[in-house]
């Protein structure tokens, strides 16, 4: 009898300590959300390198009584890297080492398209404020339109950490949908004649220019906007590794091993912010809608500025490259190429679109910096 | 968090877009300045000048192509370059460069996933 009682008490204790006893409908829904995201990542291949760990992090975050964020351990360390803005600048180091700023240096005017495409960020900000979000929350939501995941995470952590999960998921989901979202907007805003504009070959860029650009840009932007100094500084450091020609080992590490390791931590940690308590709120739906609006207006802003530049340059610039100003490197540039090729087979816009594309990365970081300086 | 400068969304939009444009215009000026002061630019242009007057282009291309390239491939590459508006006299040599295409392709895929 005593053995039976001890056995029953032990089983009861195990049940009370288990996750099942505290499992709610909200947890079940969020695990289902995680499974859907995993399906999209693995079967549909929507940004699998990021959506995969985000989805799994979402599932992990919804196991009750794990104490992941309360007790010291790996999960808390990952969360520390997210909450203290460590991972996004490290990702930017890798991106800098992978980015060729040559097309931008060869044609600096394309910086303006990268700036114009940021209008989507601020249209979403205005929309979010009209829907009742605070100014900080609206800024964090608006940055989805920048189509730049690390910057979106960087800004969200500082301005609206409770919305991080929804913002990150919206940003990465829409980035994977760039080939579906952008073409209708691009075609709607341009004429056949504009889409057929053939651009001249770009001038060659010297090594001197390639080496000076990251150094001087880092100094200029960091002095102007200190809140994004770590983000832009690491981007330009990574690019200096690449362009200097004497730091190949560092460049290789930054763009491969380090970048992959940090991606695992950043994406899993982002997924782990998607707990039922913070994600299952009406605001999440609004964030997803506002993110789409931001992408559409960002694309439109870039294309409309491209049309202006097309006219002022005497039809030497194809307005389709303006849409690449929303970042999403290099997918947005590829979309410009595909739409341009459909309008005029043999018209290669890819290299020309890379200018506004990388300008968009800098533009989004600058937009984040101005919002941090003004709204935080 | 400190109090924001303003809570009017339209003013926030106007100020932020102005700042974004100004910073990127400043960056554009810096790029132009680097181009202007570039001490290596003239040195690279100088040796190109004497090579410009080539009497007949196609034979020189064929001669400059390594043994591994067939005349058909040379003709196709020359035609592709010509379709961009370059004359045959501007093609001085056709040769394969050392490039790890698969590695670069992999990097492109990784970059695509990150932004």
Partners of B26 on chain A (C-beta within 8 Å) are: 220, 224
Q: Is B53 helix (H, G, I), strand (E, B) or coil?
A: coil
* Both structure tokens of A273: 């912010």
Query: Å from A213 to nearest chain B CA?
Result: 7
Task: Render A109-177 in DSSP notation, one character per residue.
Answer: GGHHHHHHTTHHHHHHHHHHHHTT--HHHHHHHHGGGG--HHHHHHHHHHH-GGGHHHHHHHHHHHHHT
Q: Above 70 in pLDDT, residue A267?
A: yes
In angstroms, the CA A124 to CA A130 distance is 10
Domain span holding position B80 = 59-93
Q: Which of B7, B19, B24 sits opposite A114 (nearest CB)?
A: B24
Given an 8 Å threshold on Cβ–Cβ distance, is A49 in contact with B113? yes
Q: Above 70 in pLDDT, residue B42?
A: no
Query: Å from B41 to nearest chain A CA?
Result: 7
Q: What global pTM score does this model have?
A: 0.80
User: How do residues A18-28 score in pLDDT, each as one tens digit?
Assistant: 888 889 999 99
Which has the closest alpha carbon to A367: B5, B111, B23? B23
Task: Render A54-91 in DSSP notation, one character per residue.
Answer: HHHHHHHHTSTT--TTTSSSHHHHHHHHHHTT-HHHHH
* Both structure tokens of A163: 């919305």
Please check whether residue B65 lies inside any domain of the structure.
yes
Please check whether residue B109 lies inside any domain of the structure.
no
Would you state the pLDDT for residue B55? Answer: 47
pLDDT tier at B47, thresholds 50, 70, 90? low
Please check whether residue B30 lies inside any domain of the structure.
yes
Please check whether residue B86 lies inside any domain of the structure.
yes
pLDDT tier at B57, thresholds 50, 70, 90? very low
**Is the backbone peptide bond immediately before A284 cis, with ω within 30 degrees of 0?**
no
Q: Is A207 helix (H, G, I), strand (E, B) or coil?
A: helix
Please check whether residue B27 lies inside any domain of the structure.
yes
A332 contacts A323 by C-beta, under 8 angstroms: yes
| Number of domains chain B contains | 2
Half-sphere exposure of B5 (CA within 13 A, CB side): 13
What's phi and psi for A225, nearest 5 deg? Answer: -130, 80
Please check whether residue B16 lies inside any domain of the structure.
yes
Identify the DSSP state of A201. Answer: P
Please check whether residue B21 lies inside any domain of the structure.
yes
pLDDT tier at B44, thresholds 50, 70, 90? low
Is A305 or B52 the better-scoring residue by pLDDT?
A305
User: How many beta-carbon pairs under 8 angstroms link A with B?
Assistant: 157
Give yes or no for A105 touching B (CB within 8 A).
yes
Interface of B with A in 23-42 (CB under 8 A): 23-28, 30-32, 34-35, 38-41
Give yes or no for A126 touching B (CB within 8 A).
yes
User: How do residues A192-249 score in pLDDT, each as one tens digit?
Assistant: 999 999 998 889 999 999 999 999 999 999 999 999 999 999 999 999 999 999 999 9
Closest-CA residue in chain B for A172? B115
pLDDT tier at B63, thresholds 50, 70, 90? low
What is the ipTM for the molecules in this complex?
0.88
What percent of chain A stands above pLDDT 90? 74
User: How do residues A272-289 score in pLDDT, each as one tens digit?
Assistant: 988 998 889 999 999 999
Q: Is A191 helix (H, G, I), strand (E, B) or coil?
A: coil
A235 contacts A64 by C-beta, under 8 angstroms: no
Query: Å from B52 to nearest chain A CA?
Result: 17
Give yes or no for B46 touching A (CB within 8 A).
no
Query: Tokens 């501007």 belong to which residue?
Result: B90
User: How do residues A72-120 score in pLDDT, each as one tens digit?
Assistant: 899 999 999 988 889 999 999 999 999 999 999 999 999 999 999 999 9
User: How do residues A33-77 score in pLDDT, each as one tens digit?
Assistant: 999 999 988 998 887 888 899 999 999 999 998 888 788 899 999
Please check whether residue B31 lies inside any domain of the structure.
yes
């Amino acid at each position: 009898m005593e053995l039976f009682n001890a056995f029953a008490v032990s089983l009861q204790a195990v049940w009370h300590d288990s996750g099942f006893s505290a499992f709610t409908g909200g947890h079940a829904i969020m695990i289902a959300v995680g499974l859907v995201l995993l399906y999209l990542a693995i079967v549909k291949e929507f940004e699998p390198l990021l959506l995969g760990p985000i989805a799994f992090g979402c599932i992990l975050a919804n196991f009750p009584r794990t104490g992941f964020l309360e007790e010291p351990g790996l999960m808390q360390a990952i969360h520390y890297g997210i909450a203290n803005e460590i991972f996004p600048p490290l990702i930017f180091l890798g991106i800098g080492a992978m980015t060729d700023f040559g097309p931008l240096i060869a044609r600096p005017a394309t910086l303006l398209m990268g700036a114009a495409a940021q209008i989507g960020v601020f249209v979403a900000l205005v929309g979010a404020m009209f829907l009742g979000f605070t100014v900080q929350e609206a800024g964090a939501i608006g940055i989805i339109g920048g189509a730049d995941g690390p910057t979106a995470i960087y800004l969200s952590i500082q301005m609206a950490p409770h919305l991080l999960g929804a913002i990150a998921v919206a940003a990465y989901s829409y980035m994977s949908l760039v080939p579906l979202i952008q073409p209708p907007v691009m075609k709607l805003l341009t004429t056949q004649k504009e889409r057929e504009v053939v651009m001249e070959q770009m001038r060659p860029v010297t090594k001197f220019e390639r080496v000076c650009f990251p150094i001087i840009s880092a100094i200029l932007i960091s002095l102007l906007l200190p809140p994004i100094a770590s983000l832009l500084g690491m981007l330009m450091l990574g690019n200096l590794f690449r362009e200097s020609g004497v730091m190949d080992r560092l460049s290789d590490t930054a763009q491969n091993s380090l970048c992959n390791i940090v991606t695992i931590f950043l994406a899993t940690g982002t997924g782990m912010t998607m707990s039922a308590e913070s994600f299952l709120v009406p605001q999440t739906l609004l964030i997803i809608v506002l993110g789409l609006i931001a992408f559409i207006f960002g694309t439109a802003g870039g294309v409309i500025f491209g049309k202006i530049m097309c006219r002022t340059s005497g039809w030497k610039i194809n307005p389709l490259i303006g849409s690449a100003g929303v970042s999403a490197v290099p997918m947005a540039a590829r979309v410009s190429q595909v739409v341009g090729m459909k309008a005029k087979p043999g018209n290669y816009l890819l290299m020309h679109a890379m200018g506004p594309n990388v300008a968009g990365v800098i533009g989004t970081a600058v937009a984040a910096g101005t919002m941090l300086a003004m709204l935080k | 968090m400190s109090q924001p400068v303003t809570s009017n969304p339209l003013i926030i939009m106007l100020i932020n877009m102005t700042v974004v444009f100004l910073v990127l215009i400043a960056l554009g000026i810096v790029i132009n300045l680097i181009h202007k002061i570039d001490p290596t630019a003239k040195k690279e242009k100088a040796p190109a000048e004497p090579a410009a007057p080539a009497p007949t282009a196609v034979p020189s291309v064929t001669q400059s192509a390594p043994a591994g390239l067939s005349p058909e491939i040379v003709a196709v590459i020359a035609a592709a370059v010509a379709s961009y508006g370059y004359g045959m006299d501007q093609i001085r040599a056709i040769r394969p460069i050392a490039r790890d295409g698969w590695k670069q392709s992999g990097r492109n895929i990784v970059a695509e996933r990150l932004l």
